[in-house]
Amino acid sequence: MDEDRGTDQALREVLRSVRLESSVMSRAHMRRPFAVASHALPKAIFHAVAQGECFLEVEGETKPIRLRAGDVALLTRGEAHVLREGTDATAVPLTSLPVLDDGTHVNTLVCGGTGEETRIICGTFELRHAASDVMLASLPPRMHARGRASGGVGAWLDATVTMLATELSRTSASAEGMIARFTDVLVMHLIQACIDQAPERGGGWLSALRDERIGRALATIHHDPGGNWTASSLASRAGMSRSAFFARFSELVGEPPARYLTRWRVWVAADLIERERLSVGELAARVGYASEDAFSRVFKRVMGVSPVQFRRKTLHPA
């Protein structure tokens, strides 16, 4: 298994375990000069440029990001921002733009002057899991993934943006399903680009996924959190000696394998509490604990409350 294939498989397993949910909000057809303002959202926002170019101005940042056809910009924290092309345009709210009635499955917004056209696909994504906040925090607040001007993941991004734009222009019943699939693929390529830009060590799951062997071990933990895993058995999965695996995992992830495994098991249990009606004993068994007491102690150490208290908090939020 080559490195790119191994990283891709590990990424798919990690994203499957946290239930990636992505969607296209709209597409914008804008002619120069234009400036469109979007308010902040409680989820990650992406803009994929299918045609033309523009600047992305993020609230609180002084340097705009130049986006060209094939590029994708990611705002992990969902900050307010402006898409602009032309210095003489006054920003108008996104919600005030007229919608083109073209019979497609996603709203097509239009604005701007009479100059060259820029077409942008606007969407969001979330990680639906108790660990989502921690995992999203590992992503950079803002990222610019280049498409046509670069190889590797950039080439995949460019191709995916093109295919997504094609499906968005169709009115057939099958287009809606294809849009959902291409959007998920686009987000996967985006996160892959984040992995490529992650720090060499101590960057959490992003850094770990850059390494084929450690990524394989991380995918194993996410796939089967209730397994009887030890540093030795995970090292075997990674094809490394125990000492080398322990050192490399700790360097890349920023914590030892046992600590990461423990935290992931607790996050999985917390996610199960939110989605299913399980007893403490059933929760313990699902995440690899034979003893309810041991599981409850570990859960409280990680989450700050017992499983029973967490359930009450989930069912009756303040």
- Identify the domain containing residue 246 by its residue range: 205-315
Domain count, the chain: 2
pLDDT in tens, 106-142: 889 999 999 999 999 999 988 888 888 888 887 888 8
| One-letter identity of residue 290 | A
Answer whether residue 113 is part of any domain. Answer: yes
Do 309 and 210 belong to one domain? yes
Task: Mention every residue, 6+ apart, whose C-beta is less than 8 A from residue 191.
Answer: 11, 15, 139
Instruction: Give the other-Cβ count within 10 Å of 148's Cβ.
Output: 16
Do 54 and 90 belong to one domain? yes
What's this model's pTM, rounded to 2 decimal places? 0.82
Do 290 and 158 belong to one domain? no
pLDDT in tens, 185-242: 888 888 888 777 776 666 677 778 888 899 999 999 999 999 999 999 999 999 999 9
Say what the pLDDT of residue 243 is: 97
Do 221 and 298 belong to one domain? yes
Phi, psi of 227, rounded to the nearest 5 degrees: -70, 160
Degrees to nearest 5, angle at CA 43 with 207 and 255: 25
Please report, for the domain that includes residue 82, its CATH number.
Answer: 2.60.120.280
Do 32 and 120 belong to one domain? yes
Answer whether residue 109 is part of any domain. Answer: yes
Low-confidence ranges of the chain (pLDDT < 50): 1-3, 5
Say what the pLDDT of residue 213 is: 93
Please report, for the domain that includes residue 288, its CATH number.
Answer: 1.10.10.60
Do 182 and 223 belong to one domain? no
| One-letter identity of residue 235 | A
Answer whether residue 301 is part of any domain. Answer: yes
Q: Are strands 108-112 and 20-31 parallel, antiparallel or unpaired?
A: parallel
Answer whether residue 86 is part of any domain. Answer: yes
